[in-house]
Amino acid sequence: MIVSSLSPIALIGGGDMDQGDLAAALAHAECVVAADGGADKALAAGIMPEVVIGDFDSLSARARREIPQERLHRIDEQDSTDFDKALRHIEAPLILGVGFLGARLDHQLAACNTLVRHAEARVILTSRDSIVLLAPPSIVLDLTPGTVVSLFPLGAVEGVSDGLEWPIAGLSFYPDGVIGTSNRALGPVEMSFTAPKMLLILPAECLNRVIEALGRTASHW
């Protein structure tokens, strides 16, 4: 591992983000790691990343000059994204990813794919409007009635729920079949899933409640 931490880590990517996104992550994480060009985003926000991981194809000359060389960890392979490279080399109880849900749809899809491929990691991707995470085997969320709860499978998966307007028990989810967009919470929601294939998408204002829920959840994939 390049980074090993007993506390949450903020991981900054090179995609779109604003100060609110970053501030929300930094409220829960003291250590800042950058994925390649995310280092430039960190510097622009006045933050010196403790570690930079990536193939450095999008790292600026300025960042190479200003960031101490011992903090730069170059991984020369093009078969994975910088987000993937970072997750492979970070060990932490929670990773808050900022700048991975930007304007480019292909980057967003790649980030979601990486969440599923690294089911052993606890990662929450944040943006101005939404948060995305791989649903753990079970989770209990203290949500207010009317909160939009979207479920999107990236593989075959089933589940059960309590507290959703449209329960999911008995449904077989597939990326090219049944999905669970725009369900709604009736109040606190409890869900369990059969495989690490379901993305859970919630409004950005639910970040603190999701972090609290994950802290109460002992099981992970």
Tell me the pLDDT tens digit for each residue of 131-149. 999 999 999 999 999 999 9
Tokens of 55: 């193939």
Tokens of 115: 């969440």
| pLDDT score of 18 | 80
Q: CB 145: neighbour CB atoms within 10 A?
A: 11
> What is the overall mean pLDDT for the chain?
94
Q: What is the mean pLDDT of residues 55-62?
A: 94
Confidence of residue 125 (pLDDT cuts 50, 70, 90): very high
Which runs of consecutive H residues, i.e. helices, occur in 3-89? 19-26, 38-44, 61-66, 82-88
Residue 182 has pLDDT above 80, yes or no: yes
Q: What is the mean pLDDT of residues 75-104?
A: 91
**Whole-structure pTM value:** 0.95
Cβ–Cβ < 8 Å for 171, 158: yes
| pLDDT score of 217 | 84
Q: Check residue 175 and give left, alpha or beta (phi > 0: left; psi -120 to 50: alpha).
A: alpha
CA atoms within 13 A on the CB side of 148: 12
Which runs of consecutive H residues, i.e. helices, occur in 95-206? 105-117
Residue 186 has pLDDT above 90, yes or no: yes
- CA 140 vs. chain centroid, Å, equals 18
| pLDDT score of 78 | 76
pLDDT > 90 fraction of the chain, expressed in percent and rounded: 86
Q: Which of 221, 4, 11 is nearest to 119 (CA)?
A: 221
| pLDDT score of 77 | 81
Residues 6+ apart with CB under 8 A from 171: 158, 159, 178, 180
Q: Which of 116, 166, 162 is nearest to 143 (CA)?
A: 162
